[in-house]
Every structure is written in structure tokens, then in C-alpha cells.
Structure 1
Amino acid sequence: MNALVSRSGLFDDFFKDFAPAFYVRPLHGDALPEPSQIKIDVKEDDAAYTVHAEVPGVPKEDINVSIDGNVVSLRAEVRQHDQKKDGEKLLRSERYYGAVARSFQLPVEVDAAQARARYDNGVLVLTLPKKQGNKTQRLAIE
């Protein structure tokens, strides 16, 4: 029976044997988070949509929300501020920086003038009222 050796396992074992004191293994072996994805929850009631978006570690000044009809776009500038001390050596870094963005389409247009945004503890909460007068109307056939 052939045992399959994954590439990452092979390199992990090599570095563990080569320099056991300087090798830092990930806690669960999970892949790095995808920086291009902002995780969201969207809820709806009769009057509005409520969106919860995870944007941890980003100041509210670096978050941009735009609304165009029924399309909502979120953009954030993620910055990494490293402070290196004398005699310190970086062994592993799983943090990233750059722009992250996410757009999604809602079933009904949003009243952008009445929309509200609040940012607290890394979670952006959007209250997006539905635009009135956009309801589907059935036409009578003559």
C-alpha cells in the first residue's frame, strides 16, 4: 500500500527536524484567511435590510460603503503595523494588508438617503431601508 505524503507535511517535517526551536506550526493547520472576502449576514424585514459585515482591525475611517440602486459595495483598507524590536526575528506572520472589497445585490432597491451605518468591535452594521414605490404592481388586462 502506498502512503501519500503531502507536500506541506514533507516540508513541515524537514523544518521541524532542521531547526526545531525556530519552527512555528499553525494551531490547526488551517489555510490563511482569504483577504479578498468580507463575511456578511443579511437579514430582511418588511421595511429594511440589516447587514452585519466583519471588518476586524480596520478603523472606521478606512471603510467605504456605497449604494447604487439595489447593489451594495463594501471596501476597506487593511493595514498591518509591525513593530520590530532589536534582537527580534519574525518566525511566521499570518496577517495581511491591502484592500478588501465585497459587493452584493439585494432583491429590492435601497433608499440610500435613509441608510445608516454603525461600526462597533470590528462589525459594520448597515440598516438599509427599502425604497418605497418599487413594489410590483399587477396590471389589469382589458
Structure 2
Amino acid sequence: MTLVRFEPFRTFESMIRRFNELFDELDRSMPVRFELGSFSPRVDISEDERNVYIQAELPGVAKEDVKVTISEDRVLTIRGEKKQERKVEERNFLRVERTFGSFSRSFMLPENVKIDEIDAKFENGVLTITLPKAEPSKPKEVEVKVR
């Protein structure tokens, strides 16, 4: 009978290597996706007692290139364009991570948001949208006469 040395971490190292290869492949494919000219900005959504807040990260985007709309069916959409500020010179890029082009994100608004009072502020590459909440309706009691 031959004894085989047990090396539990060899399998683990192989798995880590494969994960790294997978992420490297995904990383190499990212510029192709963004060359199509669209991306989706990252957002944080939070709330307090009076408001819901949406903060969208839009570094490098000019304020005049951002548009916020609300449709009849209560969908808030942030859209715009991040323009490429430089001409592409004749050179080989080894890595392209910055994104340019159009972007869009949409959110269904809750019923308790006062649509007419929504406010948006753009500062230091962050769009902050403040959505005021309506006062919760108080339960109404109606007396029904019994005959």
C-alpha cells in the first residue's frame, strides 16, 4: 500500500487560482461592454422620518448633462451623459476602467412620496435627490347606524 501525503490546501489554492482567472477574464471584458456607450451609476437609497434620499455617484459628469424625470406611473429616472474629455491618441491602452457615454437608472417611487416637492442637488459628482414623505393618513372611524 502506497501512502499519499494529504495536502488540504492544494485544492484550495487551485480553487483560488481559478477564481482569479475568472475575475481576470471578466475584468478584460469590461471595456468592451462600456465601449457600447452606456453604464449604470451606483446609488445609495436611505430614509429618515421625513424623507427618502437617493444619492447617485456621477464623477466627471457635468450638472447640465444630468436630467431627473418622474413619469405618470411614479417612476423616477436619472439619465445623462458622461462626455469623454480627451481625444484618443494613437496608443495601445493596457487597461481601460473609466466609463463614458450615456447612463440611466430608474426607481419606482413609493405611494407616500410627495411628487410635487421632490428636490435634487448636484455637488462634487454626487446627485442627491430628496423625496419628501407625505404624512401618514390617520385611521378614520365612520359610525354605521344599525337598524
Q: Compute the TM-score of the two structures, normalised by the length of structure 1.
A: 0.62
Bigger radius of gyration: 2
Pair 1:103-2:113 in alignment: no
Aligned residue number for residue 83 of structure 2: 79
Structure 1 gaps of 5+ residues are 10-27
Pair 1:124-2:140 in alignment: no
Give the secondary-structure state (helix, strand or coil) at the position aligned to 1:113.
helix
- Whether the aligned pair in 2 keeps the contact of 1:118 and 1:125 (CA below 8 Å) is yes
Offset, 1:70: 3.8
CA RMSD of aligned residues (A): 3.5
Offset, 1:39: 1.3
Give the secondary-structure state (helix, strand or coil) at the position aligned to 1:74.
strand
Whole-angstrom CA distance in 2 between matches of 1:47 and 1:123: 21
Find runs of 4+ consecutive structure 1 residues off by over 6 angstroms. Answer: none
Offset, 1:96: 3.2
Higher helix share: 2
Give the secondary-structure state (helix, strand or coil) at the position aligned to 1:61.
helix
Aligned residue number for residue 90 of structure 1: 92
Amino acid at match of 1:90: N
Percentage of identical aligned residues: 33
Offset, 1:103: 0.6
Give the number of equivalent residue pairs: 120
